[in-house]
Structure 1
Amino acid sequence: MTPFARRIELGTLFDDVADRGRPTTVHLSRPLDIAPGLGTVHALPALAGLVRDAAGWLAAAGAGRGDRIAIAKRDHWDTVLLCCAAARIGAVPAPLSAHLDADVLDTLLGRLDPALLVTDAARLAASWTAGRAPESRAARTLVLDGRAPGALTLDDVRGATAPAPYRPPVDRPLAIVHTSGTTGVPKLVAHTTRTLLRRLAGFEAHRWPLLSARPDDVVAGSFSFVHGRALAWTAVALTHGPRALLAIPGSRWDEAGPLLDRHRPTVVEAQPATFVRWRSRARAGDDHPFDRVRLFISTFDAVHPPTVRTFLAATRHPRPVWLQGWGQSETGPLTFRFLTRRALAAERERHPTTRDLGRPVPGRTRLRVLDRATLRPVPRGTPGLVVCATRALADGYVAERSRFERKRAGRWFMTGDIGVRTRDGRLLLLDREADAVPEGNGAAELEDVIEDRLPGVVECVVLSVPGRPSLPVAVTEHGALDPEAWRDATADLPELAEPVVLTWDEIPRTGTGKVRRAALRERLGLAPETYGTGRWT
């Protein structure tokens, strides 16, 4: 680990990288919401100045050391800048997804009890329409782009001088991020400087062969910038100092496409749902924005073989690599695996390669698999609950401490996933425990196989229905599916119900594009009960 990596600080991140003379230029797919007049191209010294300015705004709005600052605005990379500004004055930022329902946002704000809510007019309007008043959950509210009764505007705080930067003790809360919330209300995960920056970002900021950005790289990121990954990704990328950094909120091609096409990235990290939406833009032999990529990175959720295969085949790089990481908001990355064109060749057996998540991060994490009933270790090759040990484990859940402690047993933490450890130590992922199905090797494998065999199915979701065959939901571009093709593709699979066919926009999703399975079950009229217990969510 480099000396700089060991001392990454969130509050002064941009000052520190600017002082080191990093030549990185940041390009955005649209102007920052907090500074729309500054355009879409930014040098690091200018961004450092913007963070200092924002720190002045937050201080002028009444926030200070130890206060929680909730940030609930439409998704953009400036959420990271606001988190840095909050950390600079010693406050604890808590970014919240713009995709949260008004009731869920209200619940999370109640748990946070923030001294300051930073929000925008669209978020307030959506909550008011649903009969909620998020501004009532905070001592003070700062609206970035409008006015609200009793709230501050940017005009009220603009020009305020920022206090001197504050570096909190490494084991005090640094930032609060939330989980995806696929099965219900997200959990608020508190991380410290030690867990988030020293052990996660610091480890990744080491100069690793193949993985680290090079001076001539163009690094693109497209995922939810309220996620904890956004803070680590920004810190690591700026520490490495690539030629350019592309920050792209959302997966809409009309916004992302022009930026990617103009700058032709060499490293692309995105959430799997975004890669799925971009698949049609990456075709082998065509002139497209992914033709220079040497490294693809996916986190957040399961990625399916057709998606990986498409992008690896599309780039003109002679030996591209796909890094598939698996972890959680509470733990950071736990395993990783490199996928190549050869690894994604047609399967001779039905088990898809992307369910193989590789091995634990060497020297950083350990895994065990436990019996679901007795919670005792099971032999290699036997399915069970996956538990992990990592020194990067979060500090706890805000306002749900007992829930966090129920998932711990000494140094071991319950992930809530079902998997198998192979004889040589690799992890095969089967299901979330809460979403478990009885058929075959689990829902994840069935979904992979169906997507692999039916190119017109951009996503498949298998929902368990106790007492009946599991229900597959096939997502297609136009909401149509050839019944005969479906029967052929599923003939050798365990019995499934007739599929429900929906379009992408008809599926309820989280801010990272994950399917909100509980909400989908409700929408389809299914009972909430599954074969899982939900005890470990």
Structure 2
Amino acid sequence: MKPLDPGPFFDVLADRGTGTLVHLSRPLDIATDATDAADARTTYDIEVLAGLVAEAAGWLAGLGVGPGDRVAVIKPNHWDYVLLACAAARLGAVPALISGRLPAETQQVLLKRLEATVLVTTSDTLAAAREAETDLTAFVRRTLVLDGPAPGAVDLADVRGHRPPPPVRRPDGVPLAIMHTSGTTGVPKLVSHTATTLIRRIAAAEARRWPVVSSRRDDTVAQATSYAHGRGLAWTLSVFWLAPREVVILDRFEPQHVEPVLRAHPPTALEATPSAFVRWQSLAAAPDNPFRDVRLFINTFDAIHPPTVRTFLAATRRRLPLWVQVWGQSETGPLTFRCLTRRSVRASGQRHPTTRDLGRPVPGKARLRVVDPETLQPVRRGRPGLVLARTRALCAGYVGEPERLRAKSADGWFATGDLGVMTPSGRLLLLDREVDTVPGGSCVELEDVIHDRLPDVVEAVVLGRASGLPLPVLVTRDGTVDRAAWRRAVADLPPLGEPALLPADQLPLTATGKVRRQELRDRFLDGAPPHGTGRWT
């Protein structure tokens, strides 16, 4: 078995004597036996985690899961998404992780594409789907419910204690795991990865002990993400292989939920989604903040606003803290990275914030080129175009949509769907998703400028349209906007429509905290067509 094979992964760690302790922000959903006080635990060592994964593999085996079967998981966000993926992989099955935050009708579409043998879920997830007139159990052969009886499902109590078979070896080129994309512009795509792409090309590369940017043995590493996405599994394999002293798992992003956990276990390395960092800015701004010992910040999934980076780099007492911004996609893994320091994000009054500069391609792992979206011919450096990527970590395909990957690939290059500019020095400047573009500009750049100049703005989303001015949609701290301050902030920007205000609890977000722009378009633009074609989504 390879050291990073998810099936026996925790067994291998236990055999190595890995002493990492894991602290959870709440108990796991797969430990829900009300008669067992240990199920309320929020601290685990590696040996107990290895036993829990093997036990979960026994549950699945008791349901008839075997090599090659697909096991769908839909539940509230938590790290046991990853543990269930390891349990399925242990049987030679293929875990398919689907966020419980997706609308029920979207979950239904994805389950139909999967044709899974088993669905692992919770009674609340099934009930919420039924309220939306969707029966998730109808799209799989059997359904396992983790938290009690539910109509049409098997109770976890009925399969507890089933002895798991030995771990199954699998060829590198067959599907290992299935995850979905964020779905900011529509129904997410189901991305299939193999051991070659996910393990050898992504996780194994991160499991090397790189200077400064890797976990150290004395680190307390914290993570806040959507564990249904591919990052959760790849991160687990790479970070735990490096055996930090402690790992802190955060399942939600609300400040009041994470603060006690971070104070009890102050992190020295912290990875989170951009939306999590945004929500924690008020914590970071406090003198006695829980980020004072962080040496390394990492954000994935999306670029982040410069004021947020400044806030956290100012919050730590470390003399030279580092912020690593990684850009990539579910289909490709990491494509670029950039290291930010206090100096590099210092406010300068310029219109172009630094975080749209995504840095250079990951050395030896990815190549990028910018092409004309119509002809797919390369454009000169300094000119905008569609970003193509070449990487050996490219996924094996989209489940249920075999033609889609072919349509986005040509001559070994994959169309990311993002527009950008390659600078003369070889750095990538991000502009927009192709479907969200505005002629001669960049919505995401405008959003960064608005955040930089109006500190009360929590979220700014600029929506382009084929006819009419781009519409800014704002979420502010108090639900209002000072119109005079707004006019000053946008005076040197391209013309924008009058801003629309939206309460924070009505902002549609993906599981990773990205804004569902299409939902905002439907709400505020009444179906007005965008400038982009949407061909590359």
Give the structure-2-normalised TM-score: 0.98
Give the secondary structure class of the aligned counterpart of 1:465: coil
Quick one: distance in 2 between partners of 1:478 and 1:12?
Answer: 50
Cα distance in structure 2, aligned partners of 1:132 and 1:149: 13
Q: Deviations along 1:242-265, whole A, 9 cap, x unmatched?
A: 110001012012221111011110
- RMSD over equivalenced CA pairs, Å: 1.1
* Secondary structure in 1 matching 2:470: strand
CA contact (8 A) 1:9 1:167 kept: no
Distance 2:151 2:180 in 1: 28
Matches within 5 A, 1:164-313: 164-283=166-285, 286-313=287-314
Deviation at 1:63, TM superposition (A): 1.0
Query: Does residue 5 of structure 2 align to residue 33 of structure 1?
Result: no
Q: Which residue of 1 aligns with 2:362?
A: 361
Map 1:349-388 → 2, pairs under 5 A = 349-388=350-389
Measure, in 1, the Cα distance between the counterparts of 2:228 and 2:438. 31
CA distance in 2, matches of 1:20, 1:338: 32
**How many residues are matched?**
531
**After the TM superposition, which of the residue ranges 345-354 and 507-516 deviates more from structure 2?**
345-354
Matching residue of 2:404 = 403
Write out per-residue CA displacement over residues 166-199 of structure 1, whole angstroms, 9 at most, x where no aligned residue. Answer: 1211111000000000000000000001110111
- Contact 1:472–1:498 (CA under 8 A) maintained in structure 2: yes
Aligned equivalent of 1:517: 517
1:414 aligns with 2:415: yes
Contact 2:183 2:189 in 1 (8 A): yes
Shift of residue 347, structure 1, vs aligned partner: 2.7
Contact map agreement 1:118 1:142 (CA 8 A) in 2: yes
Instruction: Give me the whole-angstrom Cα distance separating, in 2, the residues matched to 1:469 and 1:96.
Output: 36
Q: Which amino acid aligns with 1:21?
A: G
Separation (CA, whole Å) in 2 of partners of 1:348 and 1:500: 25
5+ residue gaps, structure 2, are 33-38
Alignment partner of 1:65 is 2:61:
no
Identity of aligned residues (%): 57
Amino acid at match of 1:401: P
- 8 Å contact kept, 2:223–2:248: yes
Deviation at 1:525, TM superposition (A): 4.3
Q: Helix, strand or coil: the match of 2:285?
A: coil
Matching residue's letter, 1:70: A
CA distance in 2, matches of 1:148, 1:168: 34
Question: What residue in structure 1 maps to residue 490 of structure 2?
Answer: 490
**Residue 30 of structure 2: SS of its match in structure 1?**
coil
Q: From the superposition, tell whether residues 502 and 150 of structure 1 become closer, same or farther in structure 2 (CA, over 3 Å).
A: closer
C-alpha contact (below 8 Å) 1:518/1:528 kept by paired residues: no
Name the structure 2 match of 1:151.
153
- Contact 2:466 2:528 (C-alpha < 8 Å) held by counterparts: no
Task: Give the aligned partner of residue 56 of structure 2.
Answer: 54
Equivalent residue runs for 1:104-183 within 5 Å: 104-183=106-185
Pair 1:338 & 2:339 matched: yes
Q: CA deviation at 1:523?
A: 2.0
Aligned twin of 1:8: 4
Q: Distance in 1 between matches of 2:70 and 2:298?
A: 32
Distance 1:316 1:526 in 2: 48
- C-alpha separation between the residues in 1 aligned to 2:98 and 2:406? 23
Tell me the secondary structure at the aligned position of residue 420 of structure 1: strand
Q: Which residue of 2 aligns with 1:74?
A: 76
C-alpha distance in 2 between matches for 1:72 and 1:178: 12
Tell me, which stretches of 5 or more residues in structure 1 are unaligned?
none
2:20 corresponding residue in structure 1: 24
Shift of 1:38: 4.4
Q: How far 1:149 moved relative to its partner?
A: 2.5
Measured in 2, the distance between the counterparts of 1:67 and 1:45 equals 27
Deviation string, structure 1 residues 66-89 (Cα, Å, up to 9, x no partner): 000000011110111000000000
TM-score when normalising by structure 1:
0.98
CA offsets 1:120-151 (integer angstroms, 9 cap, x no match): 01110111001110000001110111222231
Deviation string 1:433-460 (CA, Å, 9 cap, x unpaired) is 011112x530011000000000000111
Are the counterparts in 2 of residues 465 and 526 from structure 1 also a CA contact under 8 Å? Answer: no
Mapped contact 2:3–2:12 kept (Cα < 8 A):
no
Runs of 4+ residues over 4 Å off in structure 1: none
Structure 1 residue 7: deviation in Å?
A: 3.6
1:165, distance to aligned residue in structure 2 (A): 0.3
